[in-house]
């Protein structure tokens, strides 16, 4: 008990945060409530915003796509809170626990910051822009030296909390920018 359990917890945290961000970004038109997003909210016991507030929120944030920031925040807080609860039950030394708490503190705000940038980015290429961008991201994931790495860890798929940091905070994998 242990480092392995802690590592599993970190990976799961990164994976769940990435799923939430992916589903939030897939919400189109911005502020709508498609079924996959509604289901994620339900699974995390997050109440959707009332309709008027959803659209006011995405307008305020100038989103071209995506779920309201408030909803993703509530999801990330639920995910982080669940991991915090699990961490409390692990017997790990203080240094590792401290580091894990730092990650739990960072995951909500830093994931939201990345999300807001992505959701507000104008689509390139008109109505097929997002589909194209998605295909390009997949292609880029197979090739090194792409800014895609700013968003996802190529090793574990977690969101990148600090794109300028080459080490993934969830799996410790290094991104090579050469």
Under the rule (CB under 5 A), what is the footprint of Zn ion? 153, 155-156, 158, 168, 170-171, 173
Minimum Å distance from CB 69 to Zn ion? 24
Nearer to Zn ion, 54 or 114 (CB): 114
Sequence-distant (6+) residues with CB within 8 A of 133 are: 123, 124, 125
Minimum Å distance from CB 172 to Zn ion? 7
The answer to whether residues 49 and 57 touch, using CB atoms and an 8 Å cutoff, is: yes
Nearer to Zn ion, 56 or 156 (CB): 156
**Residue 146, phi-psi category: left (phi > 0), alpha (psi -120 to 50), beta (remainder):** beta
Minimum Å distance from CB 31 to Zn ion? 31
Residue with tokens 């998605």: 134
Nearer to Zn ion, 67 or 158 (CB): 158
Angstrom distance (rounded) from CA 153 to CA 163: 10
Residue with tokens 């017997």: 91
Minimum Å distance from CB 6 to Zn ion? 15
Nearer to Zn ion, 23 or 152 (CB): 152
């Amino acid at each position: 008990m242990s480092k392995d359990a802690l590592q599993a917890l970190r990976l799961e945290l990164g994976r769940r945060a990435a799923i939430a961000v992916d589903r939030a970004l897939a919400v189109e038109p911005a502020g709508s409530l498609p079924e996959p997003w509604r289901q994620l909210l339900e699974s995390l016991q997050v109440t959707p915003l009332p309709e008027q507030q959803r659209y006011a929120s995405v307008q305020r944030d100038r989103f071209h796509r995506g779920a309201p920031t408030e909803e993703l925040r509530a999801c990330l807080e639920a995910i982080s809170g669940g991991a915090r609860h699990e961490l409390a039950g692990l017997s790990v030394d203080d240094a590792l626990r401290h580091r894990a708490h730092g990650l739990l503190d960072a995951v909500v705000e830093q994931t939201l910051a990345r999300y807001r940038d992505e959701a507000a980015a104008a689509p390139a290429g008109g109505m097929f822009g997002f589909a194209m961008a998605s295909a390009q991201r997949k292609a880029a994931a197979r090739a090194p030296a792409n800014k895609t790495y700013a968003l996802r860890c190529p090793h574990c798929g977690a969101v990148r909390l600090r794109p300028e940091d080459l080490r993934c905070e969830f799996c410790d994998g290094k991104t090579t920018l050469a």
